[in-house]
């Protein structure tokens, strides 16, 4: 009996031990899943990042573009191979882009902390550059980039306690930027840098849609139109071997010196006052831009002109709720600059780098126009260039699927009497040849266009747009132009006349 009792107790003990060991191997009860929650504090599309009080919104788009009669997407054929308007000018340029945005916001005792990023990947093809006499060479991807593409950082900024720090839209620029109702990039007549400029800005909200901003921004990337030393070089001089196709006269400076920017010593100072209400929007903005020239000659012992501050002012207006239909809107802006040209002829305008447009086969006609911030002559003062302009559009919604716009822009460039005296005087007797009946570097740019958009489903839009630009120059007569090997243009006496270009764009875009 004792033996049986001991066996029973031992078996029971072993069973308990084994059962306990097996129980220890069983998984514990899973922790409750923390699902993503909707964040309604900042509008639709925001969600709480799990485990935090920070809300995030993701967005972006996929885009396919085709530009017809352009050497760069959505810019007119106004210079280099594009301006030749012969076999060297491209019939089309293609672009594909994927864009992604991150918007995060966190409520704090100091207000909302916001960080925002907008970046993309772009592939552009169809651009060609001159390489040798009588030919061109495909440059792979005219915008450069990574593995044949381009990495774009459009916006990257932090907002906290009224401050905006990083790459954001300039406070000078109207809310629609270069696009009052268009997709064409090259409109003149107002502020640019719509893909962001590095800045440090403070914005005060006064209530009822009224706000004011003041800050500084980097001028070097988008807001330096150039300072030209009119005394460097000689007219008609070929400054490189002919097989490279670089002709001094055929450049945007047209024989009037070389670019002579010195270092960037001051940021641009920008201010804005805005009223944004149900009826529309009104904005007044101003900017101060520092012109810092280099030297008169090849080294610092030659001295140089005194630097000067330029400035720009702009008024912008949006009118909503107009009687032509729901969602229709009118956007218009007007700008004046003195020594701050990029605030009018913005960085993506085709004319920003200067225009040299040929017309006709062989020795036909040619048009010139360039717009720096300022110019100077040997031992002379810095002469600030003055511009004024405007741009606008009317956007009409026909129904929920179809909409269209008409748009236009205008810019006028004016040089001082001192600059004209040197550019047209005996100091440069042949800068545009000996046959000019009128020597006047002033010029105007006029642009008009229209588009139609079809949105068959939400956030999927197809756009067709046409834009026309005219260069209204003030030179007249004949220019003795040397051969331009890069675009196979012969030398000869070209009639100096107004020129015109046109571009057609097609776009498919899917946003999310």
Q: What's the pLDDT score for residue 79?
A: 66
CA dihedral 491, 497, 498, 502 (to 10 degrees): -40
pLDDT 10s digits, 451-468: 999 999 999 999 999 999
Q: What's the pLDDT score for residue 468?
A: 93
User: Could you tell me the pLDDT band of residue 241, with boundaries at 50, 70 and 90?
Assistant: very low
| Mean per-residue pLDDT, 188-198 | 87
CB 50, CB 39: distance < 8 Å: no
Rounded to an integer, what distance in angstroms lies between the CA atom of residue 495 and that of residue 476?
8
Collapse the DSSP code of 48 into the 3-class scheme (helix H, G, I; strand E, B; otherwise coil) and give the result. strand
**For 193, which DSSP code?**
-
CB under 8 Å to 434, separation ≥6 — which residues?
A: 480
| Mean per-residue pLDDT, 174-188 | 91
From residue 232, alpha-carbon distances to 61, 258, 302, 355 in Å are: 47, 6, 13, 20
Q: What's the pLDDT score for residue 242?
A: 33
Cα 336 to the center of its chain, rounded Å: 19
Any idea which of 97-101, 119-123, 279-283, 337-341 has the lowest mean pLDDT?
119-123
- Residues of the chain above pLDDT 90, percent: 50
User: Could you tell me the pLDDT band of residue 256, with boundaries at 50, 70 and 90?
Assistant: low
Rounded to an integer, what distance in angstroms lies between the CA atom of residue 437 and that of residue 487?
27
| Domains of the chain: residue spans and CATH | 56-511 (2.40.160.10)
Would the pLDDT of 378 be above 70? yes
Collapse the DSSP code of 322 into the 3-class scheme (helix H, G, I; strand E, B; otherwise coil) and give the result. coil
b/e for 483-503, b at 16 or more Cβ within 10 A? bbbbbbbebeebbbbbbebeb
* Between residues 249 and 215, the one the model is more confident about: 215
User: Could you tell me the pLDDT band of residue 447, with boundaries at 50, 70 and 90?
Assistant: very high
Would the pLDDT of 228 be above 80? yes
Would the pLDDT of 239 be above 70? no
Q: What's the pLDDT score for residue 254?
A: 54
* Between residues 360 and 378, the one the model is more confident about: 378
Q: What angle do CA 338, 342, 345 make, to 5 degrees?
A: 100
* Between residues 316 and 254, the one the model is more confident about: 316
Phi-psi label, residue 325: left if phi above 0, alpha if psi -120 to 50, beta otherwise: left
Mean pLDDT of the chain: 82
**Residues linked to residue 99 through DSSP beta bridges, in sequence order:** 61, 120
Would the pLDDT of 512 be above 80? yes
Could you tell me whether strands 402-414 and 386-397 are parallel, antiparallel, or unpaired per DSSP bridges? antiparallel
Q: CA nearest 384: which of 300, 264, 249, 292?
A: 292
Rounded to an integer, what distance in angstroms lies between the CA atom of residue 10 and that of residue 320?
91
Q: CA nearest 57: which of 106, 103, 99?
A: 103
Q: How does DSSP assign 387-413, residue by residue?
A: EEEEEEEEEEE-SSSEEEEEEEEEEEE
Rounded to an integer, what distance in angstroms lies between the CA atom of residue 481 and that of residue 479?
6
243-252, 338-347, 448-457: which is most confident: 448-457
This prediction's pTM: 0.84
CB-hemisphere CA count at 13 Å for 359?
16
User: Could you tell me the pLDDT band of residue 121, with boundaries at 50, 70 and 90?
Assistant: very high
pLDDT 10s digits, 380-437: 899 999 999 999 999 999 999 999 999 999 999 999 998 888 887 644 444 455 567 8
Q: What's the pLDDT score for residue 436?
A: 75
């Amino acid at each position: 009996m004792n033996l049986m009792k001991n066996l029973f107790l031992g078996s029971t003990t072993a069973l308990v031990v084994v059962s306990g060991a097996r129980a220890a191997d069983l998984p514990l009860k899973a922790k409750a899943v923390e699902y993503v929650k909707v964040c309604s504090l900042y509008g639709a599309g925001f969600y709480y990042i799990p485990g935090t009080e920070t809300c995030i919104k993701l967005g972006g788009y996929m885009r396919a573009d085709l530009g017809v009669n352009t050497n760069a997407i959505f810019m007119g054929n106004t210079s280099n191979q594009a301006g030749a308007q012969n076999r060297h000018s491209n019939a089309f340029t293609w672009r594909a882009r994927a864009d992604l945005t991150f918007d995060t916001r966190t409520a704090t005792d100091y207000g909302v902390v916001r960080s925002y990023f907008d970046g993309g990947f772009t592939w552009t093809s169809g651009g060609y550059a001159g390489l040798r006499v009588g030919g061109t060479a495909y440059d792979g991807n005219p915008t450069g980039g990574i593995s044949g593409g381009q990495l774009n950082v459009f916006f990257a900024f932090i907002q906290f306690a009224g401050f905006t720090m990083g790459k954001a839209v300039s406070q000078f620029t109207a809310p629609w930027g270069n696009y009052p109702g268009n997709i064409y990039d090259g409109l003149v007549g107002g502020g640019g840098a719509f893909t962001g400029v590095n800045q440090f800005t403070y914005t005060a909200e006064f209530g009822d849609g009224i706000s004011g901003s003041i800050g500084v921004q980097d001028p070097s990337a988008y807001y330096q139109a150039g300072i030209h030393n009119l005394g460097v070089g000689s007219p008609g001089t070929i400054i490189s071997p002919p097989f490279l196709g670089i002709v001094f006269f055929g450049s945007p400076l047209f024989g009037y010196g070389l670019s002579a920017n010195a270092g960037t010593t001051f940021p641009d100072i920008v201010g804005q006052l805005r009223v944004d209400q149900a009826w529309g929007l009104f904005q007044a903005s101003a900017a101060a831009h520092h012109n810092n020239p280099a030297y008169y000659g090849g080294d610092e012992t030659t001295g140089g002109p005194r630097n000067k501050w330029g400035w720009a002012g702009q008024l912008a207006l949006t009118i909503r709720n107009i009687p032509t239909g729901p969602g229709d809107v009118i956007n218009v802006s007007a700008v004046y600059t003195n020594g701050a040209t990029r605030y009018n002829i913005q960085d993506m305008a085709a004319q920003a780098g200067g225009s040299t447009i040929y017309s006709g086969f062989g020795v036909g006609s040619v048009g010139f126009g360039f717009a720096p911030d300022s110019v100077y002559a040997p031992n002379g003062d810095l002469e600030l260039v003055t511009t004024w302009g405007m741009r606008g559009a009317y956007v009409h919604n026909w129904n929920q699927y179809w909409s269209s716009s008409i748009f236009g822009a205008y810019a006028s460039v004016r040089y001082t009497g001192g600059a004209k005296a040197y550019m047209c005087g005996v100091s440069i007797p042949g800068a545009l040849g000996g046959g000019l009946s009128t020597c006047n570097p002033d010029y105007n740019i006029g642009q008009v266009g229209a588009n139609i958009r079809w949105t068959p489903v939400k956030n999927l839009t197809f756009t067709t747009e046409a834009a026309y630009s005219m260069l209204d120059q003030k030179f007249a007569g004949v220019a003795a132009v040397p051969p331009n090997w890069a675009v196979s243009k012969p030398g000869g006496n070209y009639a100096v006349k107004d020129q015109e270009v046109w571009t057609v764009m097609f776009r498919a875009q899917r946003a999310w």
